[in-house]
Amino acid sequence: MLLPLVLLLAALAAIDPASGSDADALLAAKAALDDPTGALASWTSTSPNPCAWSGVSCAAGSNSVVSLDLSGRNLSGRIPPSLSSLPALILLDLAANALSGPIPAQLSRLRRLASLNLSSNALSGSFPPQLSRRLRALKVLDLYNNNLTGPLPVEIAAGTMPELSHVHLGGNFFSGAIPAAYGRLGKNLRYLAVSGNELSGNLPPELGNLTSLRELYIGYYNSYSGGIPKEFGNMTELVRFDAANCGLSGEIPPELGRLAKLDTLFLQVNGLTDAIPMELGNLGSLSSLDLSNNELSGEIPPSFAELKNLTLFNLFRNKLRGNIPEFVGDLPGLEVLQLWENNFTGGIPRHLGRNGRFQLLDLSSNRLTGTLPPELCAGGKLHTLIALGNSLFGAIPESLGECRSLARVRLGENFLNGSIPEGLFQLPNLTQVELQGNLLSGGFPAMAGASNLGGIILSNNQLTGALPASIGSFSGLQKLLLDQNAFSGPIPPEIGRLQQLSKADLSGNSFDGGVPPEIGKCRLLTYLDVSRNNLSAEIPPAISGMRILNYLNLSRNHLEGEIPATIAAMQSLTAVDFSYNNLSGLVPATGQFSYFNATSFLGNPGLCGPYLGPCHSGSAGADHGGRTHGGLSSTLKLIIVLVLLAFSIVFAAMAILKARSLKKASEARAWKLTAFQRLEFTCDDVLDSLKEENIIGKGGAGTVYKGTMRDGEHVAVKRLSTMSRGSSHDHGFSAEIQTLGSIRHRYIVRLLGFCSNNETNLLVYEYMPNGSLGELLHGKKGCHLHWDTRYKIAVEAAKGLCYLHHDCSPPILHRDVKSNNILLDSDFEAHVADFGLAKFLQDSGTSECMSAIAGSYGYIAPEYAYTLKVDEKSDVYSFGVVLLELITGKKPVGEFGDGVDIVQWIKMMTDSSKERVIKIMDPRLSTVPVHEVMHVFYVALLCVEEQSVQRPTMREVVQILSEPPKLIPKQGEELPGSGEGDELDPAIPAETVESVSNEAQEQQQLSPKSSLPPNLISI
């Protein structure tokens, strides 16, 4: 009886210690991590079997932990070294958390580890060489989107990791050249990504030895020297090659034509030159080809006729010439063709669209002639047709009037003739029609009513007839430009139903009758031009109903009567033109009319008033006398002005003398410290930080230094330009000191105090170690900011602005909201900063008229730039631009061509549809919850509405952002915006040691996106 009992105890001893040891290691790991959402709540000592814990899988038939998947659990802290005490561990996935610090070298003890995924965290330091030497079983190494620095780890290519099949080192801060040793990474390597780093040097030809490689990503934010080595043509198993936006030069090597299995070739945004090699026509499997934004010349190679699988074909912004070959129209799978900004001539391929799959065509800014192909929408999928700025002629195909998928039509600046296709303005998805600068004739389509149509631009054509009453059915119309045509008849009163209309130009036609008073119902109209028509009758006072109208032109008509007093009371007007009509009576001299000059009223013999002569009738002599009197009045005014000027000069001279005396007196005066809280430093400590090497920023209001006080505390010291404190032009000092001194809010940067004498003012702020959001997004560090962090920053910055607008008394305007004025502390918490332009709103809900435009280019709201009138909605617009920066990773201006800012660009790219946000998302984002991005994009669109009254308040912005939609798709359901190549499969459970290893390898080799949670999308 004793012997069996001993044997049983021995067997239990062989099992239980391992189970207990694994549980202890996991509990130690839990204790070391910050788990704010309770993702590890099931990990308790009361439940001793770790195999039942969340994220933990054990080998079949044992209690040994072989898989630990804690991805996307909102964990923070450092990677616990205790995880190295899981001897059977094969898969470790800690992706998409907020882990920081270095990668612990202790992980090298996990000798059986096959898959290590630490992507999308905030890990720093270099890659531990111990991992390369000891993890001989490792197949998957994913470190994407962290803060790792130093050179790329050459140790992984030393032959000690023979099983490596998937290596992702992108989205970090690795620098230097790609090691030539990476060409020895082994025959098992299928996936290699080093994109989104700070790499330089030449691309090593040795990478061509990776003959089993299927995917290679080397672009984006790297800056290489030289071109693509011809040896890359030896990677004959390659399916995807992405070398976009990384400074490549030289010609495209013909040897790439040997990559017969290549599906995707992205070489856009480089400096590649010479002709496109004809050998690329051998890439029979190619479906996506993007060579745009280079210096390529020559013609489209005839061999491209063999690219039968091509769906995306982008060559825009090059120096290509010649005809667009007819075979392009015969490619059976072609969906997208973008050839704009080249020198193509000849006609558009006649069969384009016949394949039934065609969706987008952009041929603008070439020298094309001929007619538009008749079958562009043969498959009913065409949504974008752009060919402006060519020399096309002939009629617009009638078939476009039946293309229900069509959203954008831009055919302006050609020689198109004929009439507008019947049914075009009834298409349900149509958002934009631009046909200006052609030779179109006929009338405005009588049947209209596309509710989504936002812009109708038909300027400079030969259109005739009356404007139909159906014009009022375009409920979403914002721009109506019909100028320089031959329209006639009355302007229909139904135009007053266009409640979204912001700009209307009906000038240069033959409209008659009166100005319809119903137009005053267009409350959002800012621009109205009905000049050079045959309008008569009186000006309707109802025009004053357009409360935000900036520009009003009624010139060169036959209008009669007086200028209504209600129009004179419109404070929004900045430009008017009543010239050359039959108006009479006194020109108002109040309100905005006091700023308008005589040219606005010329050609109206019956008008009188300022600049036009006195308002009385009489003989010629009397009239002459009146003018003489007017001349004397002007002379007296001039004398008064000169006297006042003399007094001003004397006063200024006295002020200068006084200032000099004060300056001399102040030289011996000590600095004064004004503190807004208890401080452990003096002005001397602050002054010690004013050194050239301590400068961390310069702005319009002064220079910012990093200071270290005696107790080790770091502060930011802002030195303002020399100016007296009482001056009204003190570079924002008074505004900052009055505003910040009393503010205590979590998301507003704290002003600790200020030092001053009569020459200099020094503001002392709390120090923000992670700098500004703008520096992170646009200074190559944006890859560090994964989506969760960006969303958090958006909410926190919104709360800071909301406090200024709604919780301060009186309310405070920032007036310079931008990403560079959102500072981030050590935990990446956002703080709104720089109130150098802040103003108090004395009357809530009213606008404050400024003397000059304040703010930063790209962030300024439209009404601010044109009228110099601001309210809190100007800050809302600027915040919307910041949200667009967070989504796209792009700067507000400078990346979209001359005169185009980020707001215009995103509207062109997405047609203001949140479902298309995937087209503009920052490519540095790895995995994102696409429903959240759509939500933020929706808020951004609300904030950047052209009309300020349509924008939400910051309180509403906070409320909307703080309640993101919850998306829990059903099994097998595809997310909006995901398409081919973006399948989102559920994670595969690990049941045995071998299956965990094989599945991890297969997931990363064949579909690195497949292990994402079902509500995430990988870019």
By the 8 A CB rule, do 530 and 491 touch? yes
Element (DSSP H or E) covering residue 876: helix 872-888
Q: Which residue has the tokens 């944006």?
A: 782
Element (DSSP H or E) covering residue 738: helix 733-740
Residue 702's DSSP bridge partners are 699, 720
By the 8 A CB rule, do 874 and 948 touch? yes
By the 8 A CB rule, do 134 and 159 touch? no
CA distance 794 to 778: 16
Phi/psi of residue 449, nearest 5 degrees: 140, 25
CA distance 195 to 218: 4
CA distance 406 to 776: 39
Q: How many residues does the chain have?
A: 1019
CA distance 438 to 462: 8
Q: Where are the beta strands (DSSP E) in 805-898?
A: 812-813, 822-824, 830-832, 839-840, 848-849, 869-870
By the 8 A CB rule, do 39 and 64 touch? no
Please state the three-class secondary structure of 299-313 as a single string: CCCHHHHHCCCCCEE
Phi/psi of residue 954, nearest 5 degrees: -65, -30
By the 8 A CB rule, do 180 and 155 touch? no
DSSP state of 270: S
Q: What's the token pair of residue 39?
A: 């993702």
By the 8 A CB rule, do 998 and 188 touch? no
By the 8 A CB rule, do 114 and 141 touch? no
Using CA atoms, how far residue 507 sits from 416, 454, 461, 550, in Å, is: 22, 20, 13, 17
Question: Considering 816, 875, 901, 922, which one is annotated as catalytic?
Answer: 816
Bond prior to 445 in cis (omega within 30° of 0): no
The neighbour count for residue 301, using CB atoms within 10 Å, is 17
Q: Where are the beta strands (DSSP E) in 653-760?
A: 672-675, 695-699, 702-708, 714-720, 751-756
DSSP state of 901: B
By the 8 A CB rule, do 504 and 527 touch? yes
Angle at 222 between CA 221 and CA 225, to 5 degrees: 140
CA distance 429 to 128: 55
Q: Where are the beta strands (DSSP E) in 11-88?
A: 56-58, 65-69, 76-78
b/e per residue 385-410 (b: at least 16 CB within 10 A): bbbbbbebbeebbebbbbbebbbbbb
Task: Tell me the CB-side half-sphere exposure of residue 123, using CA atoms within 13 A.
Answer: 30
DSSP state of 288: E
Q: Write the DSSP assignment of 761-793 as a string of letters.
A: EEEEEE--TT-BHHHHHHTT-GGG--HHHHHHH
Closest Cα to residue 232, out of 259, 267, 272, 251? 259
Q: Reply yes or no on whether 24 is catalytic.
A: no
* Strand order through the sheet with 560-561: 560-561, 582-586, 606-608
CA distance 503 to 501: 6
Helix (H/G/I), strand (E/B), else coil: 506: coil
Q: What's the token pair of residue 83?
A: 């995880």
**End-to-end C-alpha distance for the chain, whole angstroms:** 66
Residues belonging to the active site: 816
